[in-house]
Structure formats: structure tokens, C-alpha cells
């Protein structure tokens, strides 16, 4: 007996039924996967394990961005991520802080509270450490720069009524100065230290640190220019009509002396106003007095020095 070919309609029906069956199976599998992903979050949340709950919520949203629970978990995740960031800050784990913070910033790149927190924590844990650490210097510059941009544009911290814009910009620019000067004091680092000081000229933690760093730079420059000038022949230095070389060396020496006098007088003025330790004030005063006498040989007793200091207050 010969087999007859099945009708085309029957063949098509079989194919359609097969596709429907495969599609239904795929949908069921996806629903099961989504349910498991949601359950992972639910279990962690019920156990009050915020870190695991955040990871589970992030995993769910990455795999099922339009899933049944996507909207709910998106709303839940924002404050939960902030809580996780606070946990990392409490633990002092800079790498974890950055990992959590960057996850938040990926979806909200202008979240000033998060940018501020990360920049401040790197400052606190590393840039103000003794010895200073530059383990996350790149991140410090990036975060500080972004925070500066938002603050200078007028944005303030959410939930903070007495936000101090100038004080914030002072430590942010100081962060940049710290990193810029890690391999030596460049002109840009000097500019950043001065910029930082301009926002908080009476803050010992800001201005005091900045002026201290600048004194070292100015003192070095003054010593170098003094050595260069003194290396010239004595007869050339005492000539009635100094040569161009001598005049240039003397101009540089005077300019470096003026710069050292200025920054040292500013520090001593701050020390007197803010009652900084006498030993610190006296140490800088000695540097100031020496530079002043060198610059003003006609005032051997430095009688005019206090007036210079007072003008910086």
C-alpha cells in the first residue's frame, strides 16, 4: 500500500503548533527565571541583608528591565543603594564606596550628594592621611572636578539647608592641589592652592595647609635665586652700573623675596588671628623675618614687619 502525502494544510498546522509550543516553553522559562531573580531579591530583603538585596535588584533589572517587578525594584533601589554606600563609608572601604557610588552615578551622573560624599571620603581616608596616599588620585580629581562644576553652577546638597558653597569649593580645590603637587610643586599646583585659599582665607585647615605648602615652594625659590645672585662676582654685584646679568639676577631675587614675604606674612597673620600654636607661628615668623631683612636691608631691626603682617589680616 502506498503512503499518501499529507495535505499542505495539515503540514502547516503541525508546524504552527510546534512553534506555538516552543514559544510557550520559552515564555514559561523566562517567567521562571524572572520569578527566581525576584525571589533572590525578596529573600535578601526579608533577611535585611541590604548589600545582597541591592545586588539582586540590580541583577533583576539588568536581566529584566521591562519585567513585572522592574518599576517597583527601580523605586526601591535608589534609597537602598544610598544605604549601601553609607555602609561602605562606615567601613572605610574606598574601593567599595567607589563601586557603589559609580553604580548610582551611572543612572544619575549629576547626583551632587554622591559626588560630594565620594570626593570627601577619598580626601579624608587618603589625601589627608599621614603619610598622604594617592591610591585613588585619578578618582579624586575626577570627582572633585565634577563636584566643583555643579557647585559653581549653583547646585546645593539635597537635604542640607545651610550648605556652605565657599567652604565646599575650598576643600575641593585643595583636593586638586594635593594631587597636582604629588610629584613636585608645579605652577598649576600653586594656582590651585591659591584658589582654594581664596574661598576660605580664615580657615586654618584650608588656608593653613595651603600657605604652609606655598611657603616651602617660595622658600626654595628664594634660596635658589639668592645662590644664583651670590654666585656672581662680588665686583659685578657692587658695580655702580650693574650689568644686565646682575640686574636680572637681582630682580629675580627681589621678586622671590617678595613672594616669600607675602605668603609667610599671610600665614603669621592667620596664626595670630586664629591663635595657632606659638611654635608654628614662631617657625614661620623666623622665615618671614629673614626674607624681610634681606629684601629691606635699610630696616635692620625689621621695624616695619608687623605692619606687613597686620595688612594681611
pLDDT one-digit tens code per residue, 108-121: 999 999 999 999 99
pTM: 0.79
Lowest-confidence range among 36-40, 89-93, 100-104?
36-40
**Domain membership flag for residue 27:** no
Q: Which domain holds residue 267?
A: 201-313
pLDDT on residue 50? 80
Count of domains for the chain: 1
Q: From its phi and psi, is residue 275 left (phi > 0), alpha (psi between -120 and 50) or beta?
A: left
**Domain membership flag for residue 283:** yes
**Domain membership flag for residue 188:** no
- Over range 291-302, report the average pLDDT: 96
**Domain membership flag for residue 286:** yes
**Domain membership flag for residue 139:** no
Residue 17 — very low, low, confident or very high, per pLDDT cuts 50/70/90?
A: very low
Given a cut of 80, whether residue 310 has pLDDT beyond it is: yes
**Domain membership flag for residue 147:** no
- Over range 133-150, report the average pLDDT: 98
Percent of the chain residues past pLDDT 90, beyond the cut: 73
**Domain membership flag for residue 12:** no
**Domain membership flag for residue 279:** yes
Amino acid at each position: 500500500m502506498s503512503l499518501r502525502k499529507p495535505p499542505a494544510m495539515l503540514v502547516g498546522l503541525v508546524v504552527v503548533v510546534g512553534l506555538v509550543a516552543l514559544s510557550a516553553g520559552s515564555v514559561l522559562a523566562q517567567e521562571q527565571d524572572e520569578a527566581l531573580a525576584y525571589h533572590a531579591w525578596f529573600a535578601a530583603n526579608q533577611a535585611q541583608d541590604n548589600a545582597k538585596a541591592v545586588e539582586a535588584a540590580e541583577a533583576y533589572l539588568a536581566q529584566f528591565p521591562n519585567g513585572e517587578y522592574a518599576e517597583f525594584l527601580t523605586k526601591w533601589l535608589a534609597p537602598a543603594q544610598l544605604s549601601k554606600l553609607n555602609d561602605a563609608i562606615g567601613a572605610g572601604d574606598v574601593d567599595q564606596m567607589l563601586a557603589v557610588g559609580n553604580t548610582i552615578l551611572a543612572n544619575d551622573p549629576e547626583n551632587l550628594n554622591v559626588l560630594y560624599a565620594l570626593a570627601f571620603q577619598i580626601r579624608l581616608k587618603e589625601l589627608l592621611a599621614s603619610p598622604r596616599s594617592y591610591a585613588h588620585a585619578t578618582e579624586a580629581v575626577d570627582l572633585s572636578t565634577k563636584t566643583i562644576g555643579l557647585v559653581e553652577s549653583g547646585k546645593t546638597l539635597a537635604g542640607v539647608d545651610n550648605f556652605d558653597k565657599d567652604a565646599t569649593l575650598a576643600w575641593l580645590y585643595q583636593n586638586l592641589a594635593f594631587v597636582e603637587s604629588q610629584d613636585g610643586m608645579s605652577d598649576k599646583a600653586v594656582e590651585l592652592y591659591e584658589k582654594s585659599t581664596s574661598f576660605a582665607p580664615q580657615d586654618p585647615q584650608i588656608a593653613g595647609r595651603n600657605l604652609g605648602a606655598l611657603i616651602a615652594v617660595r622658600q626654595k625659590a628664594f634660596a635658589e635665586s639668592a645662590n644664583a645672585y651670590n654666585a656672581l662676582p662680588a665686583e659685578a654685584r657692587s658695580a655702580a652700573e650693574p650689568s644686565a646679568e646682575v640686574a636680572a639676577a637681582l630682580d629675580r631675587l627681589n621678586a622671590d623675596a617678595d613672594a616669600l614675604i607675602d605668603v609667610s606674612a599671610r600665614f603669621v597673620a592667620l596664626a595670630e588671628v586664629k591663635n595657632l600654636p606659638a611654635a608654628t607661628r614662631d617657625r614661620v615668623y623666623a622665615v618671614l623675618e629673614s626674607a624681610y631683612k634681606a629684601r629691606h636691608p635699610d630696616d635692620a631691626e625689621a621695624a616695619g614687619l608687623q605692619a606687613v603682617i597686620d595688612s594681611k589680616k
